[in-house]
Amino acid sequence: MAHYNKKFITCLMTTACNLRCKYCITSSMERKNIHIDTDFVRAAMQEYFEKTRNFKVRFYSVGEPTQNIEGIKKVREIACDLAGGEGVYFELLTNGCFDDEVAEWIGNHIHRVWVSYDGPRDVCDQIRVTPEDTPSTGRILKTVERLKDMTSVGIGLTVSLFNLRRQKEIIDEIHELGIDCVISKAVLNPVGKTVDDIYAVDIIDYAREFVEAWRHARELGVHYTNDLVFNFDGHSSFYCRACEPTPHLTPDGFVSSCDRAFSGDTPIQDLIYGKWDAQRKEIDYFPERMDNLRSRRVENMEECSDCEIRYQCCGHCLGTTFQWTGDIFQPIREYCPAIKFLYGEMKKDMRPGEFWPVEYTN
């Protein structure tokens, strides 16, 4: 199924973070510790639930969402109240570095947890470090072990030059942990900055290594996917929910269409389409930006018009392409050969739900 169908309201809970990942795409350590306004969440969520009847909530962050665990608990209460007896589905993306009390609450209240782990262990120990520059891997793996028996757990993997050619090894390690779904992404530039070359990978190298790891993962019964292939087993004009647009609520009170536009001062302003007025307790929307986002469909992308896989690639990730090109209708030309290579290698073996498993879309 197309990734576009995964539609959650996303709450970016805080700018605070308890790690200092070397390639951080948000530069969270440079930002003040701002927690999201739960009045803002209530207003946006009420609108979203009434409009869509889609009771799905996603907790994410500019930093680490569990640094505002009390906010998460409050938002969960708000969602359940607004749903009026309907079941609400909750998803959390986290670095996994929290204590047993927090883990216990998450395991009992969150349906799907995505834990970031940049294995193998020696790589993760170098890249995902504490403010004191000490390793975090032990805490991350402890969290995975604890949560997997309480709720559904997947792994989010960032692929850098440190682990590019070790993806099969990572799959083995995660499989031994008892986890059956891994989503990877090539390391991205921080928004408004350029990533250090010691982390960046060539996208075609990433694609080639991914295919081999994907085949290996299938043999083990592990879903291994990435943001280049999310729509391969579907047919869609839109890459993802950002084109709806579906609300992503920022800590400083803006409505964004995408995780990549995580604050009101983002350089990718076209992805911001609303602002919270705390005095009036209302959200002011920007209709022209909303219309522009809705028009970001592959039929309106001139360079994609003759592409044989345009309805599987869908112009790729809106946030990433806009950051690279400055134009939501302009694909990243460097990515096109990699995506076509992946489709050519994988299409003959496609299975329904292979690239964005249905059971991970709830």
pLDDT at 25: 78
Residue ranges for the chain with pLDDT beneath 50: 358-359
Predicted structure pTM score: 0.94
Q: What is the per-residue pLDDT for 195?
A: 62
Q: Are 239 and 7 in contact (CB under 8 A)?
A: no
For domain 1-353, the CATH superfamily is: Aldolase class I (3.20.20.70)
Buried b (16+ CB within 10 A) or exposed e, 269-295: ebbbbbbbeeeeeebeebeebbebbee
Domain extent listing, the chain: 1-353
What per-residue confidence (pLDDT) applies to 55? 97
pLDDT for residue 46: 98
How confident is the model at residue 26, as a pLDDT? Answer: 78
Question: Residue 30: which residues within 8 A CB-CB, separation 6 or more?
Answer: none
Q: What is the DSSP string of 50-116?
A: HHH---EEEEE-SS-GGGGHHHHHHHHHHHHHHTTTS--EEEEEE-----HHHHHHHHHH-SEEEEE
Q: Which pLDDT does position 184 carry in this prediction?
A: 96
Per the structure block, which two tokens stand in for 191? 């928004």
CA distance 35 to 121: 31
The token duo for 299 is 């039929």
What's the confidence (pLDDT) of residue 299? Answer: 97
Which amino acid is it at 2?
A: A
